[in-house]
């Protein structure tokens, strides 16, 4: 473990593995470390793995549109031989209900048109034709199941939505991280699992490696923090918290799995739905199940945790609230007696937009605040981090002159300063899992 490498990457989730892949392709000798004993078995394994193109900001939309193409061309992007079992992208489309809460999707429509992203505007009749099990009464504002007026329509109706036909989801998010790691290994990347980082080694304002919990050290002139919900702890070890106007915290989330109502094959005929009227999103799940997550309305209190290790992994009343709130939209939904789904942590930033950046410590970089809405962007995030590291290690000051990064598929240039740790809080954000 004393042998020096060019780059140490902390974290083997989907973005950490993508960063290892992209850096190793550039010729960097990388070592990825993770306290988990399997690649992709942190928050990536609990991801809903939705591949969508709609964001409230133009930059976020462009990044997601670029990211979609890597999942579409997954096998070609990885370059692995046919012996590898690859994660699968299932294109089912994504419908977002037009509601007052999202300004009837006007900004999202404008962003999609500006970037030539295919969209369709559906009226209520078209929604009902695609999802005949849906009741289009309005129930806003969203409530918890014991609140007065829960499940009572307010007299309004969902009159339309926006449909992105190319959207979909990845069936096995942990496998996708493992695919990226396998592709990285082809280019010389190394992985060390079951080890915990206990310190960030520094000398004269430069990073020199990491200290591990067992007392050993690994030396490298570049360290990249991609530790997911553990990223805040790693940044604290590095001593960079005070220079950040945008910080991250681990946030506990519950995702519900319920069987689809009898008579409707949601796995085959369902779509991803984002529904701000009831503040839930859903997608098809294996076995004709429906996966349901919260869009973080005011009635669902944020459950921030003090760290990324000590949190309640059991389901709570939140599971039942989400299932019951979805049953407003799907009255034929049966609520199973046995709870199924996922309890995990997000790595959420102050404005729910990620941090892809350098720091004041020469050689120390971060890709943080990514959980909940950045899984879809992992391949392009890894590529951008590799370019950012090249840019800064080449002597450029990203804080003064931010990297202009061209998105290869869509041939658009973005200002990577958009993701700065020192940016102002972005008021265009949804301040939720929607990003």
Q: What SS3 state is found at 321?
A: helix
CATH code assigned at 383: 3.50.50.60
Q: Does residue 261 sit within a domain?
A: yes
The pLDDT of residue 298 is: 93
Closest CA to 365 of 47, 132, 27, 19: 19
State the total domains in the chain. Answer: 2
pLDDT in tens, 280-307: 999 999 999 999 999 999 999 999 999 9
Residues 326 and 371 in one domain: no
pLDDT in tens, 53-87: 999 889 999 999 999 999 999 999 999 999 999 99
The pLDDT of residue 1 is: 41
The pLDDT of residue 432 is: 79
Q: Is the confidence at residue 204, as pLDDT, over 90?
A: yes
**Angle at alpha carbon of residue 134, lines to 132 and 136, rounded to 5°:** 120
Q: What SS3 state is found at 46?
A: helix
The pLDDT of residue 72 is: 98
* Distance in angstroms (rounded) separating the CA atoms of residues 167 and 175: 20
Q: Is the confidence at residue 99, as pLDDT, over 80?
A: yes
The pLDDT of residue 429 is: 85
Residues 259 and 342 in one domain: yes
* Distance in angstroms (rounded) separating the CA atoms of residues 201 and 220: 9
DSSP 121-173: EEEHHHHHHH-TT---B--PSP--TTSTTTT---S-B--EEEEETT-EEES-H
Question: What burial class does residue 317 get, using C-beta atoms within 10 Å of its C-beta: 0-12 exposed, 13-18 middle, 19+ buried?
Answer: exposed
CATH code assigned at 145: 3.30.9.10
pTM for this structure?
0.96
Q: What are phi and psi of 99, to 5 degrees?
A: -140, 160
Q: Does residue 64 sit within a domain?
A: yes
Residues 100 and 218 in one domain: no
Domain boundaries, position 100: 92-168+250-349
Boundary of a domain, candidates 332, 349, 366: 349
Question: What burial class does residue 106 get, using C-beta atoms within 10 Å of its C-beta: 0-12 exposed, 13-18 middle, 19+ buried?
Answer: exposed
């Amino acid at each position: 473990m004393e042998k020096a490498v060019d780059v140490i990457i902390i974290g083997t989730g989907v973005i950490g593995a993508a960063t290892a892949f992209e850096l190793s392709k550039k010729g960097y000798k990388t070592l990825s470390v993770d306290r988990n004993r399997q690649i992709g078995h942190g928050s990536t394994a609990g991801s809903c793995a939705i591949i969508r193109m709609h964001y409230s900001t133009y930059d976020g939309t462009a990044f997601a549109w670029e990211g979609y193409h890597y999942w579409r061309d997954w096998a070609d992007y990885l370059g692995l031989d046919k012996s590898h079992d690859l994660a699968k992208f299932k294109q089912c489309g994504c419908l977002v209900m037009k509601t007052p809460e999202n300004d009837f999707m006007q900004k999202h429509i404008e962003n999609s048109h500006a970037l030539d992203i295919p969209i369709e505007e559906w009226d209520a009749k078209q929604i009902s034709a695609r999802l005949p099990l849906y009741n289009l009464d309005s129930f806003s504002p969203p409530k918890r199941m014991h609140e007065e007026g829960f499940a009572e329509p307010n007299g309004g109706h969902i009159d339309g939505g926006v449909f992105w036909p190319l959207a979909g989801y990845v069936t096995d998010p942990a496998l996708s991280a493992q695919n990226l790691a396998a592709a990285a290994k082809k280019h010389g990347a190394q992985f060390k699992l079951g080890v915990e980082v206990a310190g960030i080694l520094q000398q004269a304002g430069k990073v020199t490696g990491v200290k591990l919990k067992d007392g050993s050290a690994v030396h490298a002139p570049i360290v990249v923090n991609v530790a997911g919900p553990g990223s805040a702890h790693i940044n604290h070890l590095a001593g960079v918290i005070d220079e950040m106007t945008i910080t991250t915290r681990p946030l506990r989330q519950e995702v519900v799995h319920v069987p689809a109502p009898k008579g409707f094959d949601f796995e085959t005929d369902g779509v991803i739905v984002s529904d701000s009227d009831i503040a839930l999103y859903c997608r098809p799940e294996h076995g004709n199940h429906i996966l349901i997550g919260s869009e973080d309305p005011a009635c669902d209190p944020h459950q921030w945790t003090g760290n990324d290790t000590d949190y309640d992994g059991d389901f709570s009343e939140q599971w039942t609230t989400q299932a019951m709130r979805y049953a407003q939209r799907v009255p034929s939904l049966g609520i199973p007696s046995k709870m199924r789904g996922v309890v995990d942590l997000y790595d959420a930033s102050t404005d729910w937009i990620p941090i892809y950046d350098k720091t004041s410590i020469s050689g120390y970089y971060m890709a943080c605040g990514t959980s909940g809405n950045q899984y879809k962007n992992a391949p392009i995030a890894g590529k951008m981090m590799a370019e950012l590291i090249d840019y800064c290690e080449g002597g450029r000051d990203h804080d003064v002159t931010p990297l202009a990064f061209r998105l290869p598929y869509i041939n658009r240039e973005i200002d990577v300063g958009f993701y700065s740790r020192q940016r102002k809080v972005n008021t265009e954000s949804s301040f939720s899992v929607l990003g």
